[in-house]
Structure formats: C-alpha cells, structure tokens
A and B are shown apart, each in its own frame.
Chain A
C-alpha cells in the first residue's frame, strides 16, 4: 500500500467534482489517480496488494442518503447503487418477486462482507485472477498492458471459458451482475454533466485486445442506480463452488422464466464463474423461447450456452459443469411454485 489522501464526499455534486478533477481522460478508469470508496471490499484489498495505487480516495458512503433506496415500483424496480448487499437480499419484495436477485446476493461473499459491500461496488469488483492480484508477476495484460498473460498457461482452474481473448482469461467474479444482466437491467450513471442510462449489458467490456479497460464508465462517473422492468418471481440463482459459503462460483446460472400454460414465453439465462464479463446466454434463451419444457430442451439450451466456450488446461471442466448448472437451474425455475 502507498500513501494516499482521503476525502469524504458530502453530496453527489461534490463527489463528481472531485472525481472528474482528478480524472485524466486517457487512463483506464481502474488506474485513475482518484478512486471512489464504497464498501471497500475490492479497493482496499487491491491497494494492500499494491495492484491499485490511487493517490486519492474519495469516500462516497455519505451519498447513501440519496443513492441507497430500494424502490419496488409497480412497473420498475429501482435499486440505489449504495444499497448494501445484505439489505437488498433481505428485502421482502425482492425475495418474492426477484428471487434471482436475492439469492445472487445471499450466496455471495460472507455475512460481514455483504453488510459492508454496496451494489455499485459489487458489480465493479475486479477479477480474482491470482496472477493479476500478485504484482510479482510481470506478465499481466490487465495490470501491465502488453506484458502477456501468466494465467493462460499457468494455474487457471478458476479462469474463464467464455468471452476470453488471447490477451486475458480472467474471470468476472461476481454473482449479482448475472441477475442484472439476465433481467435486462438498466444502469443509471451519474457524471458531472448529468445522468445517463444504458443497458447493464453495456457496462462491462470483454477483454479483447484491451483487458485493462473493464467497463464503459467514463472518468468522473459513478453508478447511481439499477433499474429492472417487470417482475420475475420465477427466477433462480444456482451457484456451484468448492465450499458451502464464502467462495466464488466455479459456475453459476441466473435463470428467469415466464411460463404460461406449459410454454416458455420468455427466458433469461446468464452465466457466472465461467466468463470474463457478466454473461448473457442469448443462444440458450433462443432455444427455450416458445417451447414446452422438458429435460432435452434444457440440455439443448445448455449446449447452446457453451457452444463457443474454450477451455484451458485446468478449467475445461467448467464447460461440462456449466451446462449441468444451466440444466439444473432451468429445472428448478420451471418447477418452482410461485
């Protein structure tokens, strides 16, 4: 960890001013000299590891006054970006109408972390790639653009099989983002010049040739809210992992279905633990829509979801695992009583 200045934001305007003042347009956001601090569960960790070296920390927790509401409206669910994971997971209406959101939050991290971590920070959490998190490895394209990728032929059991590039196979580690992308969420972003909205699916960027650029947020912008249209009571988050709690997914599936008279009218499938970014499996959804559900259909959807997957030495198992997780999540969603 290196010395930094610490400032507490008093209101959104002050926060956005402070962040944009420090922002240099050409830097990747993750290397900006000023970083916002919410729950701190990623940022402080990476600062201790010397992976992130901000010169200034802006504590945005006071913004919770205006940015942490949980508002389940008739048409739209609005979640403030500074709402705590534990508060959202425990909310009655979220549990009833959006079980995929409640469970994606409940199955993440530990109780202590969920009490600290915010929704906005959660979706922005960075990869757990061991080589990325250890600065003694020179070759990390995400940390040192152009230096190579130590994980590609290293210990890569936890790494991604979807959305990878020749430059980076680091897994997007979160759970909640899978629920958001499955439900076609909108993310509301606030910057100095105002508020803009975009599909959540456009927030994260696959590594491609620039793995150091992880999101489309612009310097000085903060996520202020997430919006979800409609209700999804028939939804499931299934997570496979090495231990029973407090561990990242080896493979997870966020599934939401609209089933009428045995026919799937709408299907949403997103995958976690297997991809470089929150991953919407539209090919799987296409298989499901308009069909009567059976196990064969679930299998075809799962196969479609992983059709483009590419395994490396230690993580090829994730392709077969991921398919079984999708099948089981679909079965659970179809049979759940709502």
Chain B
C-alpha cells in the first residue's frame, strides 16, 4: 500500500488501480473530438461582443472569401429548432436562451453565427473575418447593477421547494446571549474542464450520432431529439471518456442541436471545437452569491437561533438557483431556524451546476459564521461543532442515517496538529510569514437515482457490464468493475465495463454525487439476478429466500464462501445444468422513495434524484472536517496554503485509491475557490473579462505542497444496497471557510468576500 493506495479499513473495497489508467496515460482513451468521422466539415462559433441588444446586420463578404468556407449560419438561415424547458422545470436544457433564433442578444458571448468550412483553420479564419453591426443596450451585469430584479426562489424554480424554518427565530435571536450577524459573498466561477465543449454530429440516414463530453447521455439524447423534433430512439450519444465535467456537462447546451441541424442540412458530419473563452459563455457557471447570516447562541455555545438568507444571480430567462439553505438549516442542532433564498436576474447567460452547487457558497457563509461565533465565545471551533452536533436534523426532526462529523473533526485535528495551535490571532509566525490555522465542516447530501444495467457472464467467468454511466475522471469504470467482480465472484481482470453510450441501459446524470451509489446498486442487483438463475439451475427445488441467495456461494469471496456457505456453487456445473454458454440479465433498480414515474423518467432522460434532506423519514449526508494552514506575508500580503488536511466519512468506500484522489482534488479545488478562482465581470458591459486560463487562476503544483486525505470507516445500512455515500462533491465544500478562518487566525482580519486576495489584507 502507498499514500495513493491507502490500506482499506473496515467497509472499504480494495484500492485497485484505475480500470482506464493505461488507456489514459498512453493516449488510447478517445474523447469526443478524437472520434474519427468520415469526411467531416469543421464548425467555428462566432459569439456576441455585447451582452444586450440586437444584431442589425452581418457583413459576411470577407469571411466567405476565405478558401474552404462552406456556409455561414446566422439567425437568418439557421435550422429551426424546438424549444426545450429548463432541466429544473422538467426539461433538458441548461438554458432556455436559444441562440440563432432571432437578432436578439441576451448575454455576452452568445452564439450568433456558425462558420462551416473544410478545415478547422479555414473556419477559424473566416469566423475572425465576420463583421457584425449591433444595436447595443445597456446591460445589467450583477447584484449592484441598475435594472436587476429580485424575487424569492420559491415558486419560480420547481426544484426549490421550501425555505426551511422551525420555531421562533426572531424571538430566540432577540433573546440570545451571544450573537453573530454577518454578510458573505462568493464570486462567479467557471468549471474550465480540460476538455473543451466540443460536439461532433454525424447522420446515418435519419439516425444521429453525437460525440460530445456529457455527464448525462440519456438527457442529451432526449433533449436533442426534442429540439430536432425526432424520435429519441434515432439519437445516440457516445462519450466513453469525459475530460472533466464538474457539472458543466450535466444539462444540454444549445450548441448540440444547432450542430446536429446544420449537419443534417449539409448531409455531412460536423465537428465543433469551441475555444476556451467561448466555454465561458456557451455553457454554464457558478453564479455569484450573497448571504446574510444570523446566529444566536447561549454562553456555552449551544445554537438557539439561526437564520440564513441567500441571494443568487441568474439570467433574465431562467430561474436557476442552488438554494443551499436546505443543508445549512439542518447541519447543527438549533430549535429556531429561518431562511430565505432569492434569485436576482441580470443580462447574463444562465448559470448551472458546478461541483457541490449549493454547499460551496452556502457552507462558506455558515462555516465562516460558526468560526466568528467560536471567537466571540472564546471557544475552540472544534468544540463549538461538538456542542451543536446532532443525530436528528432540526427542521423536521428526521434522524441522520449516519453521521461521523465529530469523528472526522477529531481524526483530522489529530493529523493536522490542531492542539499545537496558539489560540490568539497573529500569535504564530515564521520569518516574513504570519501563520494561521483554520478549520470547517463539510457535508454533502447522499443521493441516488434509478439506474438500469445489463450484465453478461460467460462460463469461463468473463463478464461484460453495460450501463450508460459516465467516466468523468472519478473512477466510475473501476468501481463498477469491482462491484461486478465481487458480486459474481469472478476475477477483476475478467470484467469489462462499457459506459458513456446512450444505446446502453440508462443511468442517471453524473451529478449530485449519485453515480457510484446508483450505478453500483443497479449492477449489484443485476449480478444477483444472474446468481439467482444459476442457483435455480443447480438447486431447482430450493426456495429463493434472501438467506439462500447469500449462502449459495457465488458472489462471495473465496474466504467468505467457506465461511458462509456449506454448498459453494461451481460455475461450470451451474452453466452445464442451465445448458447455456452465456447468462445475460438486464435490470432496473430504483432507490427507496423514488417517485412512481421513476423508470419512465429514467428512459426519457429525466433523473429523479432522491436522498439528502428530501427523504420522508430520514436524512442522509456524508460528512468531513477540513483543517488548513495559511501563511500571510507581512510585506507583500501574499496568501499561501502550504497544508490541507481533510478527514471524510462516506459510508462504504468502494475504492480507497479513487476515493482519495477525488477528495484530494476536492481539497485543492476548495483552496482554489477561496484564494484564486473568480470570473471578473466588466460592470459596464456585463462581459467576462478573464475568460482564459492565463487570467482565470487555478493552483499550480507549487501552491499545494502538502495535501492529506483521511478516510474514515463508516457503515450505513439505510441508504442504498451498496452502502455508499457520494463523495465526489464532499471535499471542495467548507475549504473556503477554513481558509478564511485561518486568515483570521493569522492576521486578526475577517474576510467575508471571496476570493481572498492580497489587497484585502491589511496587516
């Protein structure tokens, strides 16, 4: 075992290497734009240079003269497409702003023309030569711009169901012995996955194949079919690998149907590879948020009143919101809670999911305020969390299925050396650097969605698993292969997994950290169907009770077979009895509490996620605790984070290697989101200014010298058959608060607005 492959503790799988590791490091893994096409034409986008107004006219003469140009598509000659509703209101789209429909411009960087040419270079050159005449209007850019509108989220966004409240907040806060009232702010951020937002479309007769990085092939297939007005069975989406998603590829963007429509008209495959800066405006992003927190506590630190008000930016067209109060009102014991989420509209593209969409901004506010409360109480912030730890969430009184928050705090504190902290701010230093320690809690809802799978077992043990899941870099191939191998009792190297293809059995969106729990539960169930068939063949007179299924031997490791079964099953004998060479099973799994229409929705590309705080009689979250060391230079005020330690508990850890890698990446992103990442908006023009990876900073290796991930053993039998809680979005939550708490410890200065930059420090 190594640091990268930690020793499994109880209820953890083996840290086997990634299923796709060799393909990726040797370049054999094919991403969307790598897919070979027969005689493709190349598309290059022209995007708007204004955020609001209309196009008067195009001058295309110069562009059309570029050798190799085939066509230039604008709103005047674009294929007619049907509308799709916003995903949160029952549709597939990440935005309802449909470009190329009219001369109207709704946001910066909106697609206004598509140049099609014989080569990428010709398409790009011609796009550069397109001249546009606009009538520009003055746009509203963000919160403080004139012309924005603000309204409660409840009632506009079907996914935002309630503003949680309980007890009498006003009275309790009024009477509280110790109070914290503070405002917090988080910036606009963009996912910037390494793989660009490419789309290739190829028609074979009336059948369309789309190669595109997608976190939801069934959603994209159905959404594009709806926009084109064709049967969904005529659309296939293929993407065996996705070069990073982070939520940006969870819902359909307008580009896909546009390219499909043009390919149809030209009767030729088309490949589009947009530029990095176009990715800032043709897809989604994390919108800026503002928060007002009020905490009231007794002298001994017990919370008596908590209020969280959040405001989020969205586009004029769409009521997108993340509504993180569903989490922040339930994290700690408190009998008087109030909350409100509002949506503010401006002339922007519609925001969307970005890794831990609700928790990143909302826990920043709450976990910063908790630290402020600890300071006011003169209490160790870890102890403040302990005093307010709870087994039941306060809004509905539902029990947490499992909750290892304090165990995480204790493990991480020990590994970090929290006890060595000198409590007073500005009391630790090293040469030019002031040193600060900070910590914060993290949590993420445990979610599941219906999923299908097909598994084929051959008599020699070779196994093929088919599921339209998504490998977005998380290790999905690996844990699915492990699940089939363990359940069928076949060696891992005999298992092949096929994913990222909408011709395979449907799986949910790779979002909300539900993939492992959902896909592995489905695969496990289908493997059990195979076991049942084999079992029946050799023991036709036995009844198929769960007990018998467990003792039949197949699906147990050799050690367990001996221990748990007096009649282990011989695979060859079972196949002989059955009289076949191959056993294949298909099955559809749904989580407890899934709505009635779940399976229908699963096939039509609507993921019905259940879990988290939305369950009837329980609440399920994964938890963690993060500790950081921050150094602030006395002279330059530069802020660095030389050390990050996180401890996490998330039910069964399917593979400690891939889990650690996910959590490590999360910790780094959490730090990045606190110190570096912000999309700058020109307030006059509502345009993104630093829309490239030179100006939109993310950490380099020198920024993260030391990251430690601790995996805690946790068993939870109340969530899903696999017993796993999603952890992909767990570690980048709370890190931002831990950093600001550490900056306070280093400098005595409380930063409530991200990112923390050197000009915000007044040492």
Binding site for B on A (CB under 8 A): 1-3, 50, 110, 128, 130-131, 134-138, 150, 153-155, 157-158, 238, 240-247, 250-251, 317, 321, 324-325, 327-328
B389 to chain A, nearest CB (A): 36
A321 with B699: CB separation less than 8 A: no
Contact of A154 among B635, B689, B694, B695 (CB under 8 A): B689
**Contacts A128-B695, A242-B676, A246-B700 given; 19 further ones with Cβ under 8 A?**
A2-B128, A50-B128, A130-B689, A134-B277, A138-B49, A150-B682, A154-B685, A155-B689, A155-B690, A157-B680, A240-B638, A242-B758, A243-B702, A245-B700, A247-B697, A251-B636, A321-B758, A327-B635, A328-B635
Q: In the assembled complex, which residues on chain A have CB atoms less than 8 Å from the CB atom of B49? A: 136-138
Q: In the assembled complex, which residues on chain B have CB atoms less than 8 Å from the CB atom of A3? A: 121, 125
Most buried by A among B125, B635, B684, B695: B635
A244 with B682: CB separation less than 8 A: no
A139 to chain B, nearest CB (A): 10
B699 with A155: CB separation less than 8 A: no
A240 with B758: CB separation less than 8 A: yes
A155 with B702: CB separation less than 8 A: no
Q: In the assembled complex, which residues on chain A have CB atoms less than 8 Å from the CB atom of B757? A: 242
B699 with A243: CB separation less than 8 A: yes
Q: Between A and B, how many residue pairs show CB distances below 8 Å?
A: 86
B676 with A243: CB separation less than 8 A: yes
B549 to chain A, nearest CB (A): 55
Q: In the assembled complex, which residues on chain B have CB atoms less than 8 Å from the CB atom of A128? A: 694-695
A128 to chain B, nearest CB (A): 7
Residue of B nearest to A153 (CB): B684
A128-B694, A155-B682, A247-B697 known; A325-B689 Cβ under 8 A? no
Per-position 1/0 for B626-656, Cβ under 8 A of A: 0000000101111010000000000000000
Q: In the assembled complex, which residues on chain A have CB atoms less than 8 Å from the CB atom of B638? A: 240-242
Binding site for A on B (CB under 8 A): 47, 49, 121, 124-125, 128, 277, 432, 633, 635-638, 640, 675-676, 680-682, 684-685, 689-691, 694-695, 697, 699-703, 757-759
A and B contact pairs by CB, cutoff 8 A, 28 listed:
A1-B124, A1-B128, A2-B128, A3-B121, A3-B125, A128-B695, A134-B689, A134-B691, A137-B49, A138-B49, A150-B682, A154-B685, A155-B682, A155-B690, A157-B680, A238-B636, A240-B636, A243-B700, A246-B702, A247-B697, A250-B758, A317-B758, A321-B636, A321-B759, A324-B635, A324-B637, A325-B636, A328-B636
What is the bound-complex CA distance between A138 and B131, given in angstroms?
12
Q: In the assembled complex, which residues on chain A have CB atoms less than 8 Å from the CB atom of B684? A: 153-154
A128-B694, A245-B702, A317-B759 known; A154-B682 Cβ under 8 A? yes
Most buried by A among B640, B685, B702: B702
Q: In the assembled complex, which residues on chain A have CB atoms less than 8 Å from the CB atom of B701? A: 245
A7 to chain B, nearest CB (A): 19
A153 to chain B, nearest CB (A): 7
A245 with B128: CB separation less than 8 A: no
What is the bound-complex CA distance between A6 and B637, given in angstroms?
46
What is the bound-complex CA distance between A251 and B680, given in angstroms?
20
What is the bound-complex CA distance between A188 and B682, given in angstroms?
42
B354 to chain A, nearest CB (A): 21
A328 with B637: CB separation less than 8 A: no
A154-B684, A155-B682 known; A325-B635 Cβ under 8 A? yes
Q: In the assembled complex, which residues on chain A have CB atoms less than 8 Å from the CB atom of B697? A: 242-243, 247
Q: In the assembled complex, which residues on chain B have CB atoms less than 8 Å from the CB atom of A155? A: 680-682, 689-690
A240-B636, A242-B697, A328-B635 known; A2-B702 Cβ under 8 A? no
A324 to chain B, nearest CB (A): 5
A240-B636, A240-B758, A317-B759 known; A328-B432 Cβ under 8 A? yes
Most buried by A among B640, B681, B700, B759: B759
A338 to chain B, nearest CB (A): 20
Q: In the assembled complex, which residues on chain A have CB atoms less than 8 Å from the CB atom of B277? A: 134
A321 with B128: CB separation less than 8 A: no
What is the bound-complex CA distance between A154 and B758, given in angstroms?
20
What is the bound-complex CA distance between A246 and B695, given in angstroms?
11
A244 with B700: CB separation less than 8 A: yes
What is the bound-complex CA distance between A325 and B432, given in angstroms?
12
Q: In the assembled complex, which residues on chain B have CB atoms less than 8 Å from the CB atom of A1? A: 121, 124-125, 128
Q: In the assembled complex, which residues on chain B have CB atoms less than 8 Å from the CB atom of A238? A: 636
A147 to chain B, nearest CB (A): 13
5 nearest interchain CB pairs? Answer: A317-B759, A240-B636, A244-B702, A136-B49, A245-B702
Residue of B nearest to A243 (CB): B703
Q: In the assembled complex, which residues on chain B have CB atoms less than 8 Å from the CB atom of A243? A: 676, 697, 699-700, 702-703
What is the bound-complex CA distance between A324 and B695, given in angstroms?
24
Residue of A nearest to B680 (CB): A155
Q: In the assembled complex, which residues on chain A have CB atoms less than 8 Å from the CB atom of B699? A: 243
Q: In the assembled complex, which residues on chain B have CB atoms less than 8 Å from the CB atom of A325? A: 635-636
A97 to chain B, nearest CB (A): 26
What is the bound-complex CA distance between A135 and B127, given in angstroms?
12
What is the bound-complex CA distance between A244 and B638, given in angstroms?
9
Q: In the assembled complex, which residues on chain A have CB atoms less than 8 Å from the CB atom of B700? A: 110, 243-246
Residue of A nearest to B129 (CB): A2
What is the bound-complex CA distance between A153 and B685, given in angstroms?
11
Q: In the assembled complex, which residues on chain A have CB atoms less than 8 Å from the CB atom of B758? A: 240, 242, 250, 317, 321
Q: In the assembled complex, which residues on chain A have CB atoms less than 8 Å from the CB atom of B633? A: 240
A245 with B703: CB separation less than 8 A: yes
Residue of A nearest to B682 (CB): A154
A292 to chain B, nearest CB (A): 22
A321 to chain B, nearest CB (A): 7
Residue of B nearest to A328 (CB): B635
What is the bound-complex CA distance between A137 and B688, given in angstroms?
12
Contact of B690 among A130, A150, A245 (CB under 8 A): A130
B126 to chain A, nearest CB (A): 10
What is the bound-complex CA distance between A296 and B684, given in angstroms?
43
B276 to chain A, nearest CB (A): 10
Q: In the assembled complex, which residues on chain A have CB atoms less than 8 Å from the CB atom of B703? A: 243-245
B690 with A2: CB separation less than 8 A: no
Q: In the assembled complex, which residues on chain A have CB atoms less than 8 Å from the CB atom of B121? A: 1, 3
Contact of A2 among B125, B675, B685, B759 (CB under 8 A): B125
Q: In the assembled complex, which residues on chain A have CB atoms less than 8 Å from the CB atom of B637? A: 240, 321, 324
A159 to chain B, nearest CB (A): 12
Q: In the assembled complex, which residues on chain A have CB atoms less than 8 Å from the CB atom of B691? A: 134
Q: In the assembled complex, which residues on chain B have CB atoms less than 8 Å from the CB atom of A250? A: 758
B480 to chain A, nearest CB (A): 36
What is the bound-complex CA distance between A210 and B690, given in angstroms?
25
B51 to chain A, nearest CB (A): 11
Q: In the assembled complex, which residues on chain A have CB atoms less than 8 Å from the CB atom of B676? A: 242-243
